[in-house]
A and B are shown apart, each in its own frame.
Chain A
Amino acid sequence: EPEVTQTPSHQVTQMGQEVILRCVPISNHLYFYWYRQILGQKVEFLVSFYNNEISEKSEIFDDQFSVERPDGSNFTLKIRSTKLEDSAMYFCASLLSGGTGEFFGPGTRLTVL
């Protein structure tokens, strides 16, 4: 069964450093997403991406965040200057079309020290 993959599974970084979280969505999917889950809290939407541009973003997704689909397979989330409060599990998801449901990746746990 096709699946969304994410690397790394765990990333530790120092405050102020840049991090890039990588995702490989399911190959024929058209919509791509990042979500965040702070430890013990609910999963929150960050951003959606379609047709090579951001289609929607939440208020969490400020200027420190960016997304990119640099080639036909990868989808990345960059945090330019990490803060302690960016520590969370980050989930990538992809979707073929409306009415099918998103497929979530296993997540990347980001720890900012």
Chain B
Amino acid sequence: AQSVTQPDIHITVSEGASLELRCNYSYGATPYLFWYVQSPGQGLQLLLKYFSGDTLVQGIKGFEAEFKRSQSSFNLRKPSVHWSDAAEYFCAVGNTGGFKTIFGAGTRLFVKA
């Protein structure tokens, strides 16, 4: 069965510092992979997605993610974090059969001045 693991429940970084959020997935075939961001009390905003092709994917708000098949990982990165990036980040894998999305437990990002 598909699953997504986000090993870090929360992460704190200083504004201007780089960020990497970890994500590992379990899936039998080439997965569809996503990163979503959720501000408190808000909906889900798609940051970026990977379906095939170039393993380095660019997203909105300066985020990027790299698909590494050998490590079953899809880590999210940003070179310089802004205070407005503080939110919950969810990694997710898409099911190519029923196309439903399986979400990880999320990583809450705190940004300190």
- Chain A residues with a Cβ under 8 A of chain B: 31, 33, 35, 41-45, 48, 55-56, 91, 93, 95, 98-99, 101-107, 109
Interface residue stretch chosen among B21-29, B38-46, B60-68, B69-77: B38-46
B20 CB → nearest A CB, Å: 20
Contacts known (A99-B32, A101-B49); A43 close to B44, Cβ less than 8 A? yes
- Chain B residues with a Cβ under 8 A of chain A: 32, 34, 36, 41-44, 46, 49, 51, 90, 92, 94, 96, 98-106
Which one, B42, B51, B103, contacts A43 given CB within 8 A? B103
Which one, B34, B42, B102, contacts A101 given CB within 8 A? B34
Is the pair B99, A106 in contact by a Cβ cutoff of 8 Å? no
Count contacts between A and B, CB distance < 8 Å. 55
**Which residue of chain A is the closest to B105 with respect to CB atoms?**
A42
Is the pair A101, B98 in contact by a Cβ cutoff of 8 Å? no
Chain B residues with Cβ below 8 Å from A33 are: 100-101
Is the pair B44, A48 in contact by a Cβ cutoff of 8 Å? no
Contacts known (A104-B43, A105-B43, A107-B43); A42 close to B99, Cβ less than 8 A? no
Contacts known (A43-B90, A44-B103, A99-B51); A106 close to B98, Cβ less than 8 A? no
Complex Cα distance, B40 from A80, in Å, reads 28
Complex Cα distance, B94 from A98, in Å, reads 9
Chain A residues with Cβ below 8 Å from B46 are: 101, 103-104
Chain A residues with Cβ below 8 Å from B100 are: 33, 45, 48, 56
Complex Cα distance, B80 from A59, in Å, reads 41
Is the pair A42, B103 in contact by a Cβ cutoff of 8 Å? yes
- Known contacts A43-B44, A91-B44; 9 additional CB pairs below 8 A are A33-B100, A33-B101, A35-B101, A42-B90, A42-B104, A98-B99, A99-B32, A102-B99, A104-B43
Complex Cα distance, B92 from A101, in Å, reads 11
Chain A residues with Cβ below 8 Å from B36 are: 104
Is the pair B32, A101 in contact by a Cβ cutoff of 8 Å? yes
Is the pair B103, A48 in contact by a Cβ cutoff of 8 Å? no
Chain B residues with Cβ below 8 Å from A107 are: 42-44
